[in-house]
Structure 1
């Protein structure tokens, strides 16, 4: 039996993580922090997850806010958690690529600082697992190592920048706490069903293809030679649960990235074919496409964030040697992206009319 404290509930990855942890042991109890404004959604999610796991009273909801000192928890609850929490999983963050700096800093940096302080007060902490994207690399190029935390000359957006700043704070407490840092690539839905909670990241491409489906020809964008690292959510869950409990995982940083990622050309062509049974014809410069997305009416029509195109030109790859080595005994591997495009597009097509899946594009 173990007591877990999780942030980021009821987000997609947090929900999947809860199911995974409950499957690990039916004795586990999960204390899930959620914003007061998310109370009704958190209650519904907890009820659904417990039903799916065939358990009850295993998910304990706590109202709070990582941007506040003490996480906004009542004193009595905080004292209980200090004595009883074994594992902490910090997933809460602002993931929006177009987020304002002040908002991103408050949640991603100040929130993580408060989480660090909370963890340092826990009496029986066995592991502090922190989620930080692989793309904190910003504009660095070449092969990026799991052992590196180097500040790039610049970042593509405030999300990357503030998550880099937050990881620095977590790296510092590695000296005092049993920390494991998880750096996923761009997360997509489940490999088998395609299920996801929102259409962002690679789903922006689908939004664009759907809006432009009336055109006889759809061109490629840019040279398509950049590599985009996309990973399925079930790989993130199974790998992070294993590594987050692995004794030798303490003090390490892991790239949960696809060891065999595809170029933009391959991803673009495969999604277009699954969406519209078309192949791209012609090519438009990336700069022209990016300039077009600076216009709000264009962004809103296509449902594509301008910042998403930055990854069409980025010239970097993620080394995941330590991850592959440490996961090998468990047989946990990342599924091939092109082999799962069909389920991904299928789920999108079945739900593209549902506004709850779409990210607001301003």
Structure 2
């Protein structure tokens, strides 16, 4: 069986690629841009997964094909497009425009139109391929509560951003396409995927690391200056963050998620379209995520509050810098994961335990943007913190302002937030 995979240089896609190679699957990597440079990005991204040298050896034998999701026939000559299609048994489509601040046009062009190009590739295959599409649990949009079913696809609540809307539209497209064809389609809906592994230079990043790196690259002096307020003598900025009292965020280790997605896609498929949530069995309180977000920023002290109707200029600026998290701190909905529970039970896999504060703090490691000694990056306190406030008792270190440009992509060195 030969698998065509898009998005292999991204955070999720690189873990999927590593997992497929670990299982000794034959993979063709469909990549953007020059294939030699793409191969370097693939190697850097897969190395960052930590799955070992054996996986990298398999990666050396992976064919790399330049493909442009925005072009007919993926930008290939028609005969080359047909030759590619004849080699494929399964398509894993993971590439996407994942910038949560993207315009509707940009998100639609890559996520919806790009998927249409992938479905054209599926139509050109000699045999109907199994199409595996990586969607998102956040196609649920602004739904505030209740349990989202695996077959639910409802836009009545609206969406937080263009990314969610485009992924919803793509799921609609895929269902319509599959309804007229004798093919198998698996739609996988992961929640917020993260890792506690330290970030790798120019490697792909996940949402928590993106937020932390953006804040760290600003530093306290620039943030205070841009907000038009003086930095306290202590060097520590205090900020309130609005968090719903009952709000939860589903956060899942990517290492478990990648293996789970491969298990779900490999299960017996009855045909048509199957949809599975790839989510943690235990939701994480949004409050815990907010507190963890400042764990590596000794100059920032955050306090979750149920309402913030009178934000200071600095608090408004912090909201802008962490804009990808806005809209996810007030909802209390949950996700049905019965398919994944069954797959775990069949494989003898134990689901991950609830995420601890230490694990969450590790996911917010911004990487080398901080110039402080490692011992000061994760301060430990013997004092009793004030309720609801992340306190610091280590000496305050001043990060280097503008050490690197703010990095708004989950994709490492790719500036356009696409994989």
Q: What is the Cα-based RMSD across aligned positions, in Å?
A: 3.2
Uncovered stretches (5+) of structure 1, i.e. residues with no partner = none
Larger helix proportion of the pair: 1
SS class of match (1:235): helix
Does the C-alpha gap of structure 1 residues 109 and 352 become closer, same or farther in structure 2, counting only changes over 3 Å? Answer: farther
After TM superposition, the score normalised by the length of structure 2 is 0.73
Superposed CA deviations along residues 312-350 of structure 1, whole A, max 9, x for unmatched, are 1223221212221222212342353225225324x4355
Equivalent of 1:43 in 35, 39, 43: 39
TM-score (norm 1): 0.84
1:65 paired residue number = 68
Q: Kindly state the Cα deviation for residue 265 of structure 1 after the two structures are TM-superposed.
A: 1.3
Change (3 A) 1:78 1:265: same
The total of aligned residue pairs comes to 349
Give 5+ residue unaligned stretches, structure 2.
Answer: 48-52, 221-233, 372-402, 410-414
Corresponding residue for residue 20 of structure 2: 21
Task: State the SS of the aligned residue for 2:138.
Answer: helix
Equivalent position SS for 2:143? coil
Aligned partners of 2:214 and 2:408 also within 8 Å = no
8 Å Cα contact 2:199-2:205 kept in structure 1: no
Maintained 8 Å contact 1:6/1:30? yes
Q: Which has the higher contact order (CA 8 A, sep 6+)?
A: 2
Q: Could you say which residue in structure 1 is the equivalent of 2:307?
A: 285
Report the counterpart of residue 3 of structure 1 in structure 2. Answer: 2
The counterpart of 1:343, out of the listed 358, 362, 368, is 362
Distance apart, 1:9 and its partner CA:
3.1
| Paired residues of 2:149 and 2:336 also in contact (CA < 8 A) | yes
Cα displacement string for residues 273-325 of structure 1 (whole angstroms, at most 9, x for unaligned residues) = 5654997557373455599787xxx36xx872435211112232212122212
What secondary structure, in the 3-state scheme, does the structure 1 residue paired with 2:327 have? helix
Q: Which residue of 1 aligns with 2:148?
A: 144
The Cα shift of 1:188 comes to: 1.1
Deviates more, 1:15-24 or 1:249-258: 249-258
Does residue 217 of structure 2 align to residue 201 of structure 1? no
* Paired position in structure 1 for 2:97: 94
Instruction: Give the counterpart of 2:172 among 156, 163, 168.
Output: 168
Larger Rg: 2
Match of 2:230 in 1: none
The answer to whether the aligner puts 1:114 opposite 2:136 as a matched pair is no
